[in-house]
Every structure is written in structure tokens, then in C-alpha cells.
């Protein structure tokens, strides 16, 4: 049981009942910021704290553009500090 309220639909591909707040913090933060409601975001923010969430998000390999821009704006951060941004910049696009 998680110490905060989240919808099980956010975790369609994992066993929701066995999620652990500490052991699975990256997937929890990633799914809530990508697909969650504002109330769910506030719940995990109260539990983990802003600085811890920022550290988790910075290490996520992919965030969709909308979520990425939201996180940058919400926490007033720079894109270059995120793995998903630097990883994206390293991908070479074909010119054909």
C-alpha cells in the first residue's frame, strides 16, 4: 500500500498492489507527472519533497514534450540539466 493516493490506471503494466514508495519512486514520479492529476502530483510532492522529485525527474531517460515543458516551468529549471534533454540532443537525425 502506498502512503499517498494514486489511480491504479497510471500503472497499467505493473502490479499496482506491490508498488513500494521508495523502491519504485522513479516509475511513480514519471507516471504521475506524465499522466496524473494535479491532486496526485501534490500528494507525491508532499511525500517525496520538491528537491527529491527534481533529482528523480532529472534522471528519467524520456519525458514527452508537454510533461518536460511543464516540469521546466513548474520548478523553474534549465533543460540542459535533464537526462531526457541531453539524451535527445545526442540522437542524430537522418537528413533523408
pLDDT tens digits, 37-94: 999 999 999 999 999 999 999 888 888 889 988 999 998 888 888 877 665 554 556 6
Q: Which residue has the cell 529549471?
A: 77
Q: Whole-angstrom Cα distance, residue 37 to residue 22?
A: 21
Average pLDDT estimate for 1-12: 93
Q: What is the pLDDT at residue 36?
A: 96
Buried-state track 68-94, b at ≥16 Cβ within 10 A, e below 16: beebbeeeeeeeeebebbeeeeeeeee
What φ, ψ does residue 92 adopt, rounded to 5°?
-85, 130
Residue 15 in grid coordinates: 502490479
C-beta separation of 69 from 32 below 8 A: no
Average pLDDT estimate for 8-34: 96
What is the end-to-end Cα distance of the chain in Å, rounded? Answer: 50
Q: Could you tell me the pTM of the whole model?
A: 0.83
Residue 50 in grid coordinates: 520538491
Amino acid at each position: 500500500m502506498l502512503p499517498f493516493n494514486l489511480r491504479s490506471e497510471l500503472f497499467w503494466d505493473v502490479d499496482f498492489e506491490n508498488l513500494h514508495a521508495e523502491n519504485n519512486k522513479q516509475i511513480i514520479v514519471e507516471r504521475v507527472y506524465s499522466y496524473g492529476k494535479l491532486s496526485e502530483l501534490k500528494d507525491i510532492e508532499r511525500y517525496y519533497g520538491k528537491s527529491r522529485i527534481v533529482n528523480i525527474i532529472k534522471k528519467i531517460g524520456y519525458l514527452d514534450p508537454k510533461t518536460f515543458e511543464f516540469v521546466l516551468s513548474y520548478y523553474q529549471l534549465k533543460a540542459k540539466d535533464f537526462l531526457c534533454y541531453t539524451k535527445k540532443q545526442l540522437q542524430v537525425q537522418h537528413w533523408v
